[in-house]
Amino acid sequence: MPVNILMPALSPTMEKGNLARWLKHEGDQVKAGDVIAEIETDKATMEYEAIDDGVIAKIVVPEGTQDVPVNQLIAVLAQEGEDPKTAASSAAAAAGKGAAQAKAPAAPAAKPEQRPEPAARPAAAPAAPTSPAAAPASAHGATHGANRIFASPLARRLAKTAGIELSRIRGSGPHSRIIARDVEAARSGQGLAPAAAASFALPVPSDDKIRALFEPGSYDVVPHDNIRKVIARRLVEAKLTIPHFYLTLDCNIGKLLAAREEINAAAPKDKDGKPTYKLSVNDFVIKALALALQRVPDANATWTESGMLKHHRSDIGVAVSIPGGLITPVVRHAEAKSLSIISNEMKDFAARARARKLKPEEYQGGSSAVSNLGMYGIKDFAAVINPPHATILAVGAGEERAIVRDGKIEAAWIMSVTLSTDHRAVDGALGAQLLGAFKALIENPVTMVV
């Protein structure tokens, strides 16, 4: 039975594409994974690969044709044992129904030999749902059958030379195929997936399926703005690609609270009679984490596939809640700044963040981060790492708790903190050292100014 090759959807928004060039011609033998054509979109030129073996029986859309609708028939492939001429003779009739197939790819009236493919799958050939050869593309290299990964011959050679597993490369070609530029990107540390995450794709229920669970009229639909979409994408990326590891301990902040009160009381006044600064507990936390990273420099790192980035400075991102989400402005050189400078800088960042007036260089990068929910009364929690950071410190509320000291029960101000680490860069022992250094500083704030 001939296989219809359709114009692929190379992006979620693609409706039409240009057939730039045919790399295979009528009568040519092709194997699954061979690049058969180049497709132009509004953003790039992509290689289109076959996912079935056979012979190109008929080219329906000639190269150079522009604005070809997605799912329109562009060629017919004769499978093994088929007569290419017979397959080609059916191409003309099939081509006339291309537009109808694009609108209703699964219509019952479609003839079996046409087997049109759903619009969301830019595959070279459709297949029955029960066929193992029709396994959906993975999140990275597309698979065919149990272990097959689709990559162009050039991409395979480049990956073999570079010593990179194809299963760890994110494919940008049709149907997530791996092409040459994907391998080049992987060699520079980009577009690589962690080994543990490279072999699976998560099923995501459609909006309609989710809404069907609730009674119509019992909810309002609030469209996502761009910042919420970015936050959602980065959180999913962080949890899927970063192996999180969590460490929690309690800090006695009695000395810190006393020092904070004394420092704020001694703050000089401006011309209006207002204090020039007012320190918060979070200012001490930022400073303590910055100094702890200097004391444990191996934890002041960022993971990349090609090597570890060891940072010289402690640039600390601080999560700030804004309408519709959050943003993380970065206090640069926090280890070298005084508590009053950090305090005033954070007040300025927070005000401009809520007004959405931060510059990109003010919230990008950084070597670690702080997320503080203590002001909401949260006792403890675990924060999601914000790439490219390898650590983030989640800070809970300071509260009076009963502790045992020298065999006696007494009250003390305790604050719980949880360090989330990227286990690839900061393992358990190293994370424990960092958290221990933070505890020593936060419990003895005088050491922050020495």
Report, as residue numbers or ranges, the catalytic residues: 423
- 279: closest CA among 338, 333, 325, 229? 338
Residue position matching structure tokens 């993380």: 328
Q: Which amino acid is at 166?
A: L
Phi, psi of 216 (to 5 degrees): -55, 135
Q: Is the bond preceding residue 118 a cis peptide, omega within 30 degrees?
A: no
Cβ-contact 173, 179 below 8 angstroms = yes
Angle among Cα 179, 181, 187 to the nearest 5 degrees reads 110
Measured CA distances, 328 to 34, 314, 315, 364, 367 (Å) = 45, 15, 11, 8, 12
User: Residue 398: how many CA atoms within 13 Å on its side-chain side?
Assistant: 16
Phi, psi of 133 (to 5 degrees): -70, -10
What tokens were used for 235? 């959180």
Measured CA distances, 240 to 133, 197, 201, 235 (Å) = 26, 7, 10, 8
Cβ-Cβ contacts under 8 Å for 404 (sequence gap 6 or more): 410
- 222: closest CA among 323, 354, 316? 323
Residue 269, class by beta-carbon neighbours within 10 Å (0-12 exposed, 13-18 middle, 19+ buried)?
Answer: exposed
Phi, psi of 32 (to 5 degrees): -55, 130
Angle among Cα 364, 366, 372 to the nearest 5 degrees reads 95
What distance in Å separates the CA atoms of residue 243 and residue 104, rounded to the nearest whole number? Answer: 42
Residue position matching structure tokens 């206090």: 331
The Cα diameter of the chain in Å comes to 94
What distance in Å separates the CA atoms of residue 1 and residue 94, rounded to the nearest whole number? Answer: 13
Supply the angle between the helices 281-295 and 339-354 in degrees, to the nearest 10.
110
What distance in Å separates the CA atoms of residue 278 and residue 125, rounded to the nearest whole number? Answer: 66
- 139: closest CA among 179, 163, 168, 118? 168
Radius of gyration of the chain measured on its C-alpha atoms: 29
